[in-house]
Amino acid sequence: MALTDPGFELRHLRYFVTLVEERNFERAAIRLGIAQPGLSQQIRSLEKIVGTPLLDRNRRGVQLTHSGEVLFQEARKVLAQTEATVAAIHRAGRGESGRISIGYVASAAYSGAVVGSIRDFKRDYPYVEVELQEMELRQQLQRIADGLLDFGYIRAPAPIPPGVSVKVVLREPLVVMVPADHEFARRSIEMLAQLADDMFITPRQPPEIGFHRNTLQACREAGFEPSVKAIAHDFTEIAALVGIGTGIALVPQSMSRVELPDIHYRPLGDVTVTSDVAIAYRKGEGSPATKAFITQHRQKIGPPA
């Protein structure tokens, strides 16, 4: 008979391996928690299933036949693989393995929110594979809603599709990015209104989204309607446009860590508008790994006020 015989069970291999390791029926039975006659019966059943003797009963003690030696080596591999498989299943059920696809806008990465959170998660969940994709925030939100992306780091505000939750995890003050030859490149800016005559550069976004919205809010709060060019693709392009004198830009404070030629960052004391990093994910997420990642962020930001 073959090991595909319906009478064959993994416990047969476990009993056999334990017997060989202990080299004694009594000790093996105690280790297995069964009666010695029961162990002897199970070994005979295994020999019947494989169709060949496994023990040399003409010699004293537990001595293996050649077939028994082969089965012992193979059985240990099978049991080890079985244990590894069961452990992997348990890890998956607890969210400790699997794969998470994460989108992010570059400006969120500059804040440290992306790297720090993923590093902490990987420390606690080393078996989870993380796939990172830089992506425009509206595309992130739509792909999350469509089930094509698990999680996103965006810059709020933005219209939220049905079925998607967004939580702010970091609020950053705004600073102004000016070219090296700007009159305020090395001077303090007391009020944002001092920049009312400048052209403000934002990403290619509608007025209600991200940096574009932040710029409008901050300037209106300062008492003027800004001239805005929503022409940049990302932060790098914003910096290049500012550097060549196309205009200035309001950006999150964390971006000032990026030192670029011909660019200066100046604080704005009278601006209360913040640039907010937010996380986005599906409501009722089913993936255990993604749920664990969401839970980690919820624990960091605490309950809603």
Give me the DSSP letters along 224-284.
-PPEEEEEESSHHHHHHHHHTTS-BEEEEGGGGGS--TTEEEEE-TT---EEEEEEEEETT
Neighbour tally for 99: CB within 10 Å = 12
Query: Is 264 a member of any domain?
Result: yes
pLDDT of residue 6: 52
pLDDT of residue 92: 64
Clarify whether residues 204 and 218 are in a common domain: yes
Clarify whether residues 198 and 267 are in a common domain: yes
Clarify whether residues 137 and 286 are in a common domain: yes
Clarify whether residues 36 and 87 are in a common domain: yes
Which residue, 93, 116, 143, sits at the end of a domain?
Answer: 93
Cβ-based neighbours of 32, under 8 Å, separated by 6 or more: 14, 15, 18, 39
| Burial grade of 90 (CB within 10 A; 0-12, 13-18, 19 or more) | exposed
Clarify whether residues 152 and 200 are in a common domain: no
Which residue, 44, 75, 93, sits at the end of a domain?
Answer: 93
Query: Is 288 a member of any domain?
Result: yes
pLDDT of residue 303: 44
Written as tens digits, the pLDDT of the chain (305 aa) is 444 455 678 888 888 888 888 888 888 888 888 888 888 888 888 888 888 888 887 767 778 888 888 888 888 888 888 777 776 676 566 655 578 999 999 888 888 888 888 998 888 888 888 999 999 999 999 999 999 999 999 999 999 999 999 999 999 999 999 999 999 999 999 999 999 999 999 999 899 999 999 999 999 999 999 999 999 988 889 999 999 999 999 999 999 888 888 899 999 989 999 999 999 999 987 788 888 888 888 776 654 43
Query: Is 135 a member of any domain?
Result: yes
Give strand pairing partners of 279. Answer: 153, 167
Give strand pairing partners of 98. Answer: 128
Q: Which helix (H) or strand (E) holds 48?
A: helix 36-50
The full length of the chain comes to 305
Clarify whether residues 186 and 268 are in a common domain: yes
One-letter amino acid of 278? A
Neighbour tally for 131: CB within 10 Å = 11
pLDDT of residue 109: 86
The total domain count for the chain is: 3
Query: Is 147 a member of any domain?
Result: yes
For residue 117, give the CATH number of its domain: 3.40.190.10
Q: 227 lies in which domain range?
A: 173-272
Q: CA-to-CA distance for 11 and 250, rounded, in angstroms?
A: 68
Q: At what angle do helices 66-93 and 10-22 cross, to 10 degrees?
A: 120
Note the Cα 56 to chain centre separation in Å: 55
Clarify whether residues 164 and 284 are in a common domain: yes
187, 266, 267 from 190: Cα distances, Å: 9, 10, 9
Query: Is 214 a member of any domain?
Result: yes
- Phi and psi angles of residue 253, each rounded to the nearest 5 degrees, phi first: -55, -35
Q: CA-to-CA distance for 262 and 257, rounded, in angstroms?
A: 14
Query: Is 134 a member of any domain?
Result: yes
Which residue, 93, 112, 142, sits at the end of a domain?
Answer: 93
Clarify whether residues 177 and 268 are in a common domain: yes
Clarify whether residues 158 and 282 are in a common domain: yes
For residue 78, give the CATH number of its domain: 1.10.10.10
Query: Is 5 a member of any domain?
Result: no
52, 193, 218 from 221: Cα distances, Å: 88, 9, 5
Clarify whether residues 79 and 141 are in a common domain: no
Clarify whether residues 263 and 183 are in a common domain: yes
Query: Is 101 a member of any domain?
Result: yes
Q: CA-to-CA distance for 227 and 197, rounded, in angstroms?
A: 8
